[in-house]
């Protein structure tokens, strides 16, 4: 492990990395203790599903409370079976609900995420050192440790920190994948891909791209084996869904709602509670609830697109700007601690990509970025979607900083 982390680094570089590890932990702990409401008992849809499982209600979420659709845990409610959220983060949260004290539970969840975030920072350092440059790896560690939004997401009850770690580990495996066929490599790569899909279902698109990439760059046997392992590890979730909904639900039942949120008159990313309250009660309250809701939103989104396709093209350009530049309608994106570092990262990432000839040497991260952009255009852009994508830009940003430092040193002779 020590050799993997430090390689042939100098004593000074090791000391710097230790400093970044300490800062990474302390800054996240300070943010949690100073700014997070540790008495909150709400963990978004993931936690509400986990609560229902603990209460013996199964993997369930939505129910009618007399006023409309609700999802907050209610001991007296009988929520409908759900596949709305992928199960990865639900499984992660589930053991913590054995702790009845809410504050203690929150501290345990968030401090475990601090540990995972720190591992993600170290993974980013190791990946950059191995496949980019030793000097850039320290910059990558600094970015991962100090970037305000990376500190913030540690306190969020979402799978972002797990996703960051998983993505870097996946890229390390893909970069290290041998051209010759090796069963162990294929199994490990497939398991990591499946785990990421269980965290964020849209990753299935990137995994499909990875399989095609491997078929071209490695060999067809490796690509087919990775695809087989992914499908094998996703099979239990699909079998569960088929047994519950009596039809094939490969991943989740939220495609329709998310597609509607990106193609409606309500505004990009709007959760459409008003529309939900008006239309959802017309749907029979049974095991098919989420299936029928999904169909309802898909149908409505198609009607919006067909009614004015020209507007949808324009909206796609707006979502592209929201994702890559700035979203003036989201107060989180207008925070200087968010958009100023992002603009700096964007410029430095371009410098790093040009310097490393990324289109030839680092095609996989570029494909991941393109895939993330496509998803934002297809659905809608939120700051956290950019944050999840941003982890693959860190090595390029680090190289950009290294190039800038070298130019400044040459100009001023120091």
**Which residues, in sequence order, are CB contacts of 244 under 8 Å at separation 6+?**
59, 81, 83, 287
Q: Which residue has the tokens 């993600």?
A: 120
Among 47-61, 291-305, 391-405, the range scoring the smallest mean pLDDT is 291-305
Residue 244: CB atoms within 10 Å: 20
The CA dihedral of 241, 246, 248, 250, to the nearest 10 degrees, is -10
- Structure confidence by residue, pLDDT tens digits, 71-120: 899 999 999 999 999 999 999 999 999 999 999 999 999 999 999 999 99
- Structure confidence by residue, pLDDT tens digits, 240-258: 999 999 999 999 999 988 8
pLDDT at 279 over 70: no
Backbone φ and ψ for 69, nearest 5 degrees, come out as -80, 135
The answer to whether residues 63 and 80 touch, using CB atoms and an 8 Å cutoff, is yes
In this structure, which long-range contacts are made by residues 308-316, counting pairs with CB atoms below 8 Å and at least 24 apart in sequence?
A: 312/263, 315/263, 315/268, 316/377
Q: Is the dihedral of CA 284, 290, 295, 300 positive or negative?
A: positive
Across the range 9-30, mean pLDDT stands at 92
Q: Which of 154, 220, 137 is nearest to 186 (CA)?
A: 220
Tokens of 350: 């371009």
Helix (H, G, I), strand (E, B) or coil at 86: coil
Helix (H, G, I), strand (E, B) or coil at 64: strand
The answer to whether residues 256 and 297 touch, using CB atoms and an 8 Å cutoff, is yes
Across the range 303-331, mean pLDDT stands at 87
Q: Which of 345, 318, 334, 317 is nearest to 383 (CA)?
A: 334
Helix (H) or strand (E) holding 88: helix 88-93
Top pLDDT among 46 and 283 is at 46
Q: Please state, in angstroms and rounded to a whole number, the distance separating the CA atoms of residues 156 and 35.
A: 12
Query: Residue 323, Cα to own-chain centre: how many angstroms?
Result: 14
Across the range 112-132, mean pLDDT stands at 97
Q: Please state, in angstroms and rounded to a whole number, the distance separating the CA atoms of residues 364 and 171.
A: 8
- Structure confidence by residue, pLDDT tens digits, 216-249: 887 889 999 999 999 999 999 999 999 999 999 9
Backbone φ and ψ for 334, nearest 5 degrees, come out as -90, -5
**Which residues on adjacent β-strands are paired with residue 81?**
60
Q: List the Cα angle 265/271/273 in 5-degree steps.
A: 90
Q: Which of 328, 253, 311 is nearest to 283 (CA)?
A: 253
Q: What residues does each domain of the chain span? A: 308-414
**Which residues, in sequence order, are CB contacts of 269 under 8 Å at separation 6+?**
261, 262, 330, 380, 381, 382
Length of the chain: 414
């Amino acid at each position: 492990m020590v050799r993997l982390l430090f390689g042939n680094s100098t004593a000074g570089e090791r000391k710097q990395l230790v400093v970044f590890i300490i800062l990474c932990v302390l800054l996240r702990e300070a943010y949690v203790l100073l700014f997070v409401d540790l008495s909150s008992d709400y963990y978004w849809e993931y936690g509400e599903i986990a609560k229902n499982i603990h209460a013996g209600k199964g993997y369930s979420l939505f129910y009618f409370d007399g006023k409309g659709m609700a999802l907050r845990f209610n001991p007296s409610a009988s929520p409908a079976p759900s596949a709305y959220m992928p199960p990865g983060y639900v499984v992660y949260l589930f053991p913590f609900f054995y702790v009845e004290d809410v504050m203690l539970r929150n501290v345990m969840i968030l401090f475990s995420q601090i540990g995972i975030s720190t591992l993600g920072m170290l993974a980013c350092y190791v990946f950059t050192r191995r496949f980019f440059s030793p000097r850039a790896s320290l910059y990558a560690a600094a970015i991962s440790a100090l970037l305000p939004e990376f500190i913030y997401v540690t306190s969020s009850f979402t799978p972002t920190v797990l996703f960051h770690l998983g993505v870097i580990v996946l890229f390390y495996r893909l970069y290290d994948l041998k051209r010759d066929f090796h069963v162990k490599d294929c199994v490990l790569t497939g398991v990591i891909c499946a785990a990421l899909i269980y965290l964020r279902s849209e990753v299935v698109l990137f995994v499909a791209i990875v399989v095609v990439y491997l078929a071209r760059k490695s060999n067809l046997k490796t690509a087919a084996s990775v695809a087989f392992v992914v499908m094998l590890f996703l099979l239990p979730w699909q079998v569960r869904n088929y047994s519950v909904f009596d039809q094939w639900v490969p991943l989740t039942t939220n495609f329709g709602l998310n597609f509607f949120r990106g193609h409606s008159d309500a505004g990009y990313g709007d959760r459409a509670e008003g529309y939900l309250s008006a239309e959802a009660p017309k749907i029979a309250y049974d095991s098919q609830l989420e299936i029928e809701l999904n169909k309802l939103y898909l149908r409505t989104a198609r009607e919006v697109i067909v009614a004015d396709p020209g507007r949808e093209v324009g909206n796609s350009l707006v979502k592209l700007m929201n994702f890559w530049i700035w979203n003036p309608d989201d107060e989180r994106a207008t925070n200087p601690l968010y958009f100023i570092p992002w603009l700096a990262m964007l410029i430095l990432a371009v410098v790093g990509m040009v310097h490393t000839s990324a289109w030839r040497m680092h095609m996989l991260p570029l494909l991941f970025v393109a895939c993330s952009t496509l998803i934002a255009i297809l659905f809608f852009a939120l700051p956290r979607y950019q944050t999840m994508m941003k982890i693959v830009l860190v090595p390029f940003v680090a190289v950009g900083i290294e190039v800038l430092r070298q130019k400044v040193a040459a100009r001023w002779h120091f």
